[in-house]
A and B are shown apart, each in its own frame.
Chain A
């Protein structure tokens, strides 16, 4: 305590007596370039042992005052840090070597501390701006992460415009709790709630009349962020790295750092993308003939009518491919980004304005995002730095109607029973005929419906870094970070009365308004004590708080006045409101010791409590610890062939708070003809609900050879989740169907292997490559509640089921003789490789390949087409009964679910781009010009039968991979041009 005491004294002194005078030095100047002589802008130039420094400007030039005999360290992201000794020379030309193994990259290890990768005790994945958005840019931020994070299972829920990607780090971290990582943008905890627009009112995917369900396919709010503004991303995959983030870190943390202005000339860049969006794959439709048309009904009169209808349509040439008509639209895509970055020694500014607008593969769907960002960093004094990062986002997604549905209205479901000889086109008056084969005419639905999500969002982060005390041996800082994330989400679902299926409701309008405010702050004191040159101790301690306030209001109007969408222009109106609120508080202390720059020991404790827990006052304690031994730095391994080898191990705990409201047994509204009534909700409250606790141990070795041209990272981890939260299915005779319980324990074990190399380095060609391999296996080690099928549609069609002693993601179903295991959503392994090949310094080919081996989906899209008699392969005969395959498959329903549980492995060329940088520029004020072309998700090799192996009817929760007529996935081709001024 005495030590802290001194800190506070110093804090006050610092505020009162700002600025200490430094002695005058000589001026050193120089130019920083890369291997091929291109200037490196924004390289940091730091005088050691002080921390004074500057940055190189856009031409790579810098000037700094330094005392003779001082050391200057020059570094930049992606390059090996170089040190030079200040002697008599005052002019330096510094050529930085690219850092293939990223040993000098600085990685965040605490809420206010960071460390070089060389000494890190965890395997922390990082993504650079180029990897994120510089190959073949995706539509949204979440899609830009796909296939790029080793150790993650990323999966698109559907192809609908506006995003919706599930990111699961190192296996199943929760069953019914939060499975998605925490996103931290410049210190602000960014909300990633997926809010339903109330589409269940239309689809009835969840029967029983609820306005929303987990099958409504909303986008995740993280999709709003702009990849172009991002400098780098760090991924803390488990508790051993993320423990300091406490209550919300159990599913991992994704730390996003946006671009900052640096000292130097102001750089203005304008980039323009133009492209197209097309469907990735169509399933094809059944080729009908008169007999097949007749066989759609067993009723003789209907059958004859169908035969006649086919013959008439055929002779009139009116046989259509409705799948192609609905999903075959080519969307136009454009994206414009203007960024301005620059600054003085004291102030750095980064500003960007961007807008994108994209059409979808279904008419009247698409995505638009406009964003403004201003980041300002300013040194108030030499000792106090403040930073503000602000972002305004306006996004709008028209997502169409897709996915599971019980009313025959989603496009895929309607198509599944509509044969090619049906006439769905409007007549000369523009009137669409009713579809006699389904509850809706999908052409009419596409033309008249609306399902829009539009967002206005402000994210602001503030940071304060104040030097409180400094002596030769001790250095103390106050680090405060915090901010807020506020958005308003307006959803508009409109299905006018003229639609075929609105005959009863006579028009439905669901207007939603959601506002969410999240705030958080971290206050910490960091002291670095250097008792000797060989020992450095970094102590940090502090407080954190996070709050959330979410308010969702849905108005559901039916019986609309024709042409109107306002909810008051209707004769029936229902409303639903959902509010959630939480406050989490934490206290943390962390100690990092670095011995000889070779051994790093880390230990920390975090205490957390949350208003969502049963006991709101109770603090839960989460420890962490880590050790890294750099054998080369220790001198145990001589630098030679091996230039760096490190052994590391880390352990940590984190938690996942219970869902809001899991404590309460409530009464919900249940009115009857004007009498207001209440009925007990199906969820029983659990008054003593506890957070689920994750403990992770990881260990590994990092090896770098051939002067860093080849490096390996091998990691093994064991992650246990104790007291995992599950919505236990209660015997429904209790009056309740579910209850949140701490239901048991599960475990994930896995291996991650990474390789970074530069296989080719000649005068004219450089090839940088990284290859990653990862796999995960889960096991439910304890289950205290009865095991029941969950997360899908029961055994008949294949269902998830948590069972003790089994994989958490196993899929069970009817197997012909009873119920057995039919598959597992967990991939056997995944691999990716990112490559950049540069020719003659100007032409750059970049590509990302992603291979997911194994893992099963529950494919019900193909089943729907069989039921509707429209599958492309319906009439093939390859089965033992010698009947059409479609008929055969239907016969299996109810006795065998094998055919629905399908391998969803794939090899995908996720992104490929070819870029050219011009060196001879037309006019002097143009400093840079780049052009490029890129293809996104253009090539997929898979045996999977339906639209795309990446799918999830149930959104980003536990049970991904259930395929029910999603919005088909798309591919993109884009032309890029970027000009720097």
Chain B
């Protein structure tokens, strides 16, 4: 009797003690599950997630570049740092602990990480052919290069990390020129992959560029931008030839971030309706002041019924580049490629070709053909001016003026304001 009770007791204790529980992740798929042996559907989900993720904090990136480049102000009472830190009000400086660099920086590297997971998942998948693997890898490397470029645009000579595959052993920071070189090399490597690929991806923002050939054109367009940043003018022209550059094509042809109101999707939160108060994006007064009369690009900054002002700044035009909450934001478009072509031609002293390209832009915007001096200096100024209005609030002007050492041309609105040349790297990296 006693022995039995003893056994029962021990048995009961063992049952109670052995029912250990491990619930797993109840809310998400795990990376482990995707990198073991991914199906096409899982890989495509990573592709869509990557395209979607590129939009995270994109409006903040445009605010950063647009504000320092004196294209616009973001007025919002609740967040003074848009008009203090970014413009260098009083003694304010940019610090690496603030949202304007930490959030956008992290979002770009989140996409880089997703691309690395995609490459890893494609490599370990037994469901797809080598050509398909090449396609996923080529796509992932292209997007990775683009995301790295965006961070490098912000931190400039403070640099970026390129090798970030192992979170526990991150590669070193590389400086601006090495960073650009790494981005260019990554794009080249991606083109090699895409050359031996056969895929068609579900990429809603990529219109006709969703297969290997199309992605190659997109890749070369980015490569042309990078080559121009690197002042490799001949390479840039070669890249343009491989891209969707079309001197006579529609300026808007290109690859875009698109938006939707569906579940899990995002709206374009750079968009704010006209004449709002409180949270507003206001065109810098110099935009309307400097634009040539008759230029239809004035429509990118529409007059307000009431002036908006904050903290000693004011403006009477709304930024009206993105006119709905689902308006697409360009990644790269033909209008930029035409201007990149013009820039290369000017730098290589091909003035007539450059003028043809510039006039292509001018006439498209209701302006008379170029009649200024035909000197490199004058044409560069004209090219930068066309870039200013054609690529308004698309994240270019600050970077363009910096490339040409012309940041001192930007207007100072309040005494003591500064024009920053670069963002500090986030404190988490320091």
Contact = CB atoms under 8 A, between A and B. Distances in A.
**A and B interact physically:** yes
A840 to B, nearest CB: 58
B359 interface: no
Interface stretch (B272-280, B341-349, B362-370, B390-398): B272-280
Given A302-B307, A666-B31, A408 B110 contact: no
B23 A572 contact: no
A673 B48 CA distance: 10
A590 to B, nearest CB: 17
A894 B84 contact: yes
Contacts of A435: 277-278
Contacts of A669: 49, 264
Interface stretch (B87-95, B231-239, B291-299): B87-95
A106 B316 CA distance: 74
Given A543-B16, A864-B77, A796 B85 contact: yes
Contacts of A679: 49-50, 52-53, 110-111, 114
A347 interface: no
B248 interface: no
B377 to A, nearest CB: 35
Interface in B48-95: 48-53, 55-57, 60, 76-81, 84-85, 89-93, 95
Interface stretch (B123-131, B187-195, B254-262, B331-339): B254-262
Contact of A893 (B44, B84, B164, B258): B84
A672 B265 contact: yes
Output the residue of A296, A417, A577 with the most chain B CB within 10 A: A417
B48 A735 contact: no
B109 interface: yes
Given A298-B312, A679-B110, A795-B97, A579 B27 contact: yes
A667 B31 contact: yes
Interface stretch (B132-140, B218-226, B350-358, B422-430): B422-430
B46 to A, nearest CB: 6
Output the residue of B21, B53, B76, B92 with the most chain A CB within 10 A: B21
Interface in B377-430: 414, 426-429
Contacts of A408: 76-78, 278-279
Given A666-B31, A667-B30, A735-B114, A789 B79 contact: no
A107 B315 CA distance: 69
A93 interface: no
B97 A616 contact: no
A504 B271 contact: yes
Contact of B20 (A616, A674, A867): A616
B89 A894 contact: yes
A670 B167 contact: no
B303 interface: no
Output the residue of A417, A585, A679 with the most chain B CB within 10 A: A679
B170 interface: yes
Contacts of A661: 25, 27
Interface in A553-612: 558-559, 571-575, 577-583, 585, 587, 609, 611
Contact of B264 (A580, A581, A664, A671): A671
B29 interface: yes
A736 interface: yes
B371 interface: no
Contact of A575 (B76, B77, B263): B263
A12 B4 CA distance: 13
Interface string A476-516: 00000000000000000000000011011000000000000
A298 B48 contact: no
A571 B326 CA distance: 14
A575 B265 CA distance: 11
A670 B48 contact: yes
Interface string A595-636: 000000000000001010000110000000000000000000
Contacts, number: 316
A486 to B, nearest CB: 19
B170 A732 contact: no
B230 interface: no
A59 to B, nearest CB: 48
A435 to B, nearest CB: 6
B262 A867 contact: no
Contact of A894 (B30, B85, B160, B309): B85
A504 B262 contact: no
Given A302-B309, A681-B28, A868 B48 contact: no
A733 B109 contact: yes
B20 A672 contact: no
Contact of A672 (B167, B260, B272): B260
B177 interface: no
Contacts of B263: 573-575, 671
Contacts of B277: 434-439, 500
Nearest to B98: A794
B48 A672 contact: yes
A6 to B, nearest CB: 8
A668 B28 contact: yes
Contacts of B146: none
A359 to B, nearest CB: 28
Contacts of A667: 28-31, 34, 46, 49, 117
B249 interface: no
Interface string B16-52: 1100111111111111101000000000111111111
B241 interface: no
A87 interface: no
A344 interface: no
Contacts of B278: 407-408, 414, 417, 435, 437-440, 500-501
B429 A735 contact: no
Instruction: Enumerate the 9 nearest inter-chain pairs by beta-carbon distance, A residue then B residue, closest first.
Output: A439-B278, A735-B113, A894-B92, A677-B48, A677-B49, A299-B314, A666-B28, A732-B106, A671-B264
9 contacts: A5-B6, A301-B316, A406-B79, A500-B277, A673-B262, A675-B202, A735-B164, A893-B84, A894-B91
Given A504-B273, A890-B311, 16 more contacts: A297-B307, A298-B309, A435-B277, A611-B23, A661-B27, A667-B117, A671-B263, A672-B48, A672-B55, A675-B44, A685-B30, A735-B114, A794-B95, A795-B97, A796-B95, A895-B92
